[in-house]
Chains A and B, each alone.
Chain A
C-alpha cells in the first residue's frame, strides 16, 4: 500500500519507467502463455513483413519475431538479473567486510578490486570466454565477478561513511558483534544507495550481456535472446528491413525504464536525508 502511495505521488517519468519494467517482467514470466508461437518454431518466410499473423514480421529463419522478442525478454532479463544478483552478493559482502573489519583485510580486498577494475571489462570478458569457451555459466560468473568490483567500491564507501557514525561506535561499545552491527546498524542505512546501484548495475550488466550476445559470444542460438537477434538479423538493415531495430529497441527501452525509476528513487532518497 505504501508503494501505491509513492507511485501516486511520483512524476510521470517514473511511472513510465515502472510501466516499462512491469511490461517486461510480465512478458518474461508468462512468455509461454502469451507468445503466439513456439520459441524456435519456423512459421513463415524469411523476413516476412508485418501481417495479422505475424504482428512484427518474421526473422532470418522465418520465425515469428514477436514470439522471439517475448522469449528473448525471458532469457536476457533472467540472465542479467541472476548475474547482477551474484555480483551484488559478492561485491557488497566483500565491501561491508572490508569496511567493518578494516586493517589488512580491507587493504588486500581493495588492492585486488583496484587491479581488476583497472581491466577494461569487455576485453577481460572476451579473453576469458576465448579461453573457457562460450557458455552461459562462464559468462554469468565472469561478468558478475568483474561487476562486483564496482559494487564493492560503492558498498565499501557507503559502509565506511556509516561506520564512522557514532551510533556504530555506540553499538561497539555496547559489545555487539560484527554480524549484528552489519545487519542492524549498517545495512538499513546502506539500503537506499545500494538499491539505486542495483538498478544501475542491472542496466550495465544487461547491456553487457546483450553486447556479448551481439558479438556472438553470449547466449547461443537457437535460444531467443535480444542481443543475438540483432546480430542474426543485422544483414536485413542494408535491404531497408528494420527488423534488427526491434530487439535493439527492446533492450534500450528496458534500460531507459530502469534508469528512470532509479533517478526517481535517488531523488526520493536524497529528499529523505534532508
Chain B
C-alpha cells in the first residue's frame, strides 16, 4: 500500500544574506492514513520547516530546493496554485503554535472556522456552522453554541488553541500538521489541548504530524517518532520502541532529560535562615493584590523552588525580593537585617549579596557589550577591581561556568543560548553573592542545554555555598534541584515544605493537579491520567456528569510580565 504522504529527499533552503543555506538537508518522511507522526528536535532542527513543507508551503525567504512531496498520489512540488489551494485547509490542515497571533483579530472564531469549507464550496454556511459547533462540543469548549461568536482576543489561550484545532477539523482533513500547539501554554492547560487533539484525531482517524521539542508530549500522541537535528534525521522508530530502546546517542540524551534528581539537604542546616519574606502583599496598582500574605524562608546553601503557573505571582515575588516592586505590606529580612523595600534605598553591599539571573539570556545581556565589560563592570563596581587583576578574574569566572578564556572579547550575539545563560551566571558569580534569584532560567533553553545549566548551578552551589531562590513553572526542574518547594496559585502559597514532603502524597488539590499534569516519558501517561481523573470525578459526583475535564483554577491574567 502506498503512503498517504511521502516526502523523499526533501531539501529546503533559506536565504541568509545573499546565499541560500540548507535548513532541511534531504529528509525522507512518510505518513500513513490515521497515523500520528511525531517530529522531535531542538530549535534550529528544521522540524517546523519540514512540517510546513508537507503542504508544499515555505515561509518567506525559504524555498523547497529539491525532493518530492507526494500526497495521495500527487507530487505537490509540481502542483499548480489552484491544486495546492484545494489541498491546503481541505485535505491537509495546519495548527500553529500561537493561536493568539494566528487568528485574525478582525473576525469571529466561527467566521474563520466556516470560511474553509464554505470558500472551497464544500458546505453551505449553515452546515459548516453546525459542524463547527459540533466540533467545539467534542473539544469540550465551554458554551459551544455561542463561543464561535466571540473574537479571538475575547477567549483564553487554551480555548483559543482548541478553537484552532476545530478550525483545522472544519473539512475533516486527511492530515493535520500540529506545530508546537502547546508550547506556549501552562501545564494544566496543555493537558486540555493534548486531550482535545488526541480525542479528535482518534475519533476521525485523522493522520497527523505533531511537531514539538518535548519528547514526553509527543510520546502521548505519536505512533512513530522522527528525531531531527540540524536539518537531518537522527533516528526514526515506533514510539514505544524508541522510548524503550533508543539507537542513537542523541536520542538517549533527549530521553534522559529530567531524570536528574538529588536528595534535599534542607534538614542539615535547620535554622540558618538567609532570606525571610514576612507577610508580603504586593500589587501593581489598580487595587488587585498580585501577592497575598507570602511567607518564605530560604536557608543558607539551599535551593528553594517557587512553582506556579502564569498568573501565580511567582515572578512578582522575585521583584519584591529584589526591591524592584516595593510591597504593600510585609518585610524582607536578609541575613538578620530588614532590607529597605525600595531598591534605591538599599546599600551597595546588600545589592551585591543578592543577585539575579533571568529567563531570557538574549535580553539579559547588553548586545553592545563584550563579555569583558559584562563581567568586568560588577568586579569594578563592587570590588574596585581594574586592569590585569580584573582580566584574570574574568577568565577565572569564565572558567567557572565552563567557557573558554578567549570568549572575553566576544559579544553576546556571537554565543549560543546556553552559553549566554552561562555568562549571566558568571555575571551573578562576579558579585560573590549569598543569594541568587533564578527566574525561569532554563525555560527558554532547549532541554539538553537546560540540563547542562542546571548541573552547572548545582556544581556552583556545592562549591561556593550560595542559596538559590528558584522561580519556575517546570516541575521537572524543581524535582531536579530543589531542597524546598513553595507552590503558588493566584498570588497565594498553597503548599510549602521540604521537597520530599511536598512531592509525596497526600497533596494539596492544586499541587496534585500541577504534579499530575507534567508529561512523563510514557506513551500511556495521558490515557492513564485521564482515566484516573475520570474515576476520581465519578467518585465525587455519583451521577457521572458530563464528560468535562476537572475544573481548574482559571488562569488569572498573566502577571509574569
Contact = CB atoms under 8 A, between A and B. Distances in A.
Contact of B366 (A174, A175, A189, A271): A189
B351 A174 contact: yes
A175 B342 CA distance: 12
Contacts of B381: 174-176
Contacts of B351: 173-175
Nearest to A175: B351
A188 interface: yes
B343 interface: yes
Contacts of A141: none
Contacts of B364: 165-167, 170
B356 A173 contact: yes
Interface in B355-414: 355-356, 358, 360, 363-369, 373, 377-378, 381-382
A169 B368 contact: no
A232 interface: no
B122 interface: no
A169 B364 CA distance: 8
Nearest to B322: A173
A173 B366 contact: no
B300 interface: no
A165 B343 contact: no
A188 B377 CA distance: 16
A14 to B, nearest CB: 16
B301 interface: no
Given A166-B360, A174-B351, A175-B351, A189 B367 contact: yes
A172 interface: yes
A174 B378 contact: yes
Nearest to A169: B324
B363 A188 contact: no
B482 to A, nearest CB: 23
7 smallest beta-carbon distances between A and B, as pairs:
A188-B368, A166-B364, A167-B366, A175-B351, A166-B358, A165-B363, A166-B363
Interface residues of B, number: 26
A263 interface: no
Interface string B314-336: 00000000111000000000000
Contacts of B17: 271
Contacts of A165: 363-364, 366
15 contacts: A165-B364, A166-B358, A167-B363, A167-B364, A169-B358, A170-B356, A173-B324, A173-B343, A173-B355, A173-B356, A174-B381, A175-B346, A184-B366, A189-B366, A189-B367
Interface in A162-182: 165-167, 169-170, 172-176
Contact of A170 (B343, B358, B367, B368): B358
A184 B368 CA distance: 9
Contacts of B369: 184, 188
Interface string B411-437: 000000000000000010001000000
A106 interface: no
B539 interface: no
Interface residues of A, number: 15
Nearest to A172: B343
A197 interface: no
The residue in B358, B363, B382 that gathers the most chain A C-beta atoms within 10 A of its C-beta is: B363
Nearest to B356: A173
Contacts of A172: 324, 343
Interface string A237-268: 00000000000000000000000000000000
B348 interface: yes
A188 B366 contact: yes
A12 to B, nearest CB: 15
Contacts of B368: 188-189
A9 to B, nearest CB: 10
A175 B348 contact: yes
A175 B349 CA distance: 10
A238 to B, nearest CB: 51
Nearest to A176: B381
A75 B287 CA distance: 59
A185 B363 CA distance: 12
A179 to B, nearest CB: 14
Contacts of B323: 173
A218 to B, nearest CB: 40
Contacts of A189: 366-368
The residue in A165, A169, A174, A271 that gathers the most chain B C-beta atoms within 10 A of its C-beta is: A174
A84 B68 CA distance: 58
A176 B377 CA distance: 10
Nearest to B358: A166
Interface in A125-176: 165-167, 169-170, 172-176
A269 B348 CA distance: 37
A165 B431 CA distance: 21
